[in-house]
């Protein structure tokens, strides 16, 4: 899926207050929709599909770019899946290179392929909420719409994963708003940005993607790839070169800060 790159991160973070009433309404919506299996709300007013109480840890609402692995850490992030063709190939490459990644899942994709979501979790990767519709213009939509996109997707992802929460929220195309960041953070999902865009959604060729990562990794640790939203053979080929190169250069695969 194509992404908008016309506005920088700082340009998106327009000053706007998050109303207490709006956030309370969003939390109420979450409590009403997030528990199809009939579990009880946790201390944070959030339920999980397997019915077990689990407390949500609030996280920072600013957009994360840094790595928990420190200065030599690299965060591989994989967007728009899971996909039955490409995700297994990406998972195998990660396993072959002893690398961990953060998978930013689209709600209906997770719902359609729960076994892949469970495999992602079983392999030690982290989950990220990438909304229901991947609407790159959602920063111009109402707070009610943004809330439904984020919270409905999280319900789908948790059900598919067997109750594992997303630890991050990535707005499609970087279409964050102060409201969506605060809402996600209040439900334990750190807003997640990126430093290096492989631009694989444009299919420029694997060699070009590899060169982009090598040239731009000094800009920061979080690298963006996709495993769905189109034909991804170039992405698979690029990852097959990028992952061992990063290891050779002394980088450590980690996760974004929370």
Q: How far apart are CA 239 and CA 100, in angstroms?
A: 13
In whole angstroms, how large is the CA radius of gyration of the chain? 17
Q: Chain-centre distance of CA 20, in angstroms?
A: 26
Give 17-31 as a DSSP string. Answer: ---HHHHHHHHHHHH
Q: How far apart are CA 81 and CA 243, in angstroms?
A: 20
Q: How far apart are CA 109 and CA 107, in angstroms?
A: 5
Given the residues 79, 152, 200, 227, the one annotated as active site: 79
Q: Which of 202, 213, 176, 172 is nearest to 76 (CA)?
A: 213
Q: How far apart are CA 47 and CA 26, in angstroms?
A: 14
* Residue 134 is a catalytic residue: no
- Cα–Cα distances in Å, from 227 out to 58, 109, 172, 214, 237? 29, 11, 14, 20, 12
* Residue 65 is a catalytic residue: no
Give 40-64 as a DSSP string. Answer: PP-TTS---TT----PPPP---SPB
- Cα–Cα distances in Å, from 183 out to 113, 144, 238? 26, 11, 35
Q: How far apart are CA 133 and CA 131, in angstroms?
A: 6
Given the residues 125, 130, 134, 226, the one annotated as active site: 226
Question: Where in the sequence numbering do the catalytic residues fall?
Answer: 79, 226
């Amino acid at each position: 899926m194509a992404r908008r790159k016309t506005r920088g991160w700082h340009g998106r973070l327009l000053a706007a207050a998050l109303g207490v009433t709006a956030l309370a309404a969003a939390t109420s919506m979450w409590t009403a929709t997030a528990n199809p299996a009939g579990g009880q709300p946790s201390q944070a007013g959030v339920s999980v599909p397997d019915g077990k109480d689990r407390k949500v840890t609030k996280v920072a609402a600013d957009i994360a770019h840094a790595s928990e692995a420190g200065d030599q850490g690299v965060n591989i992030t994989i967007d728009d899946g899971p996909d039955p063709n490409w995700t297994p190939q990406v998972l195998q490459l990660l396993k072959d290179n002893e690398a961990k990644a953060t998978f930013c899942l689209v709600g209906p994709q997770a719902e359609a392929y729960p076994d892949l979501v469970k495999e992602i979790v079983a392999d030690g990767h982290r989950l990220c909420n990438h909304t229901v519709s991947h609407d790159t213009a959602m920063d111009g939509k109402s707070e009610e719409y943004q809330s439904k996109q984020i919270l409905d997707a999280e319900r789908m992802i948790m059900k598919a994963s067997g109750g594992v929460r997303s630890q991050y929220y990535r707005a499609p195309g970087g279409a964050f708003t102060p409201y969506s960041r605060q809402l996600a953070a209040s439900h334990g999902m750190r807003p997640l940005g990126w430093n290096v865009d492989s631009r694989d959604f444009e299919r420029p060729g694997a060699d070009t993607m590899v060169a982009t990562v090598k040239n731009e990794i000094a800009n920061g640790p979080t690298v963006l790839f996709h495993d769905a939203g189109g034909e991804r053979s170039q992405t698979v080929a690029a990852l097959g070169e990028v992952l061992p190169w990063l290891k050779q250069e002394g980088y450590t695969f980690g996760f974004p800060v929370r």
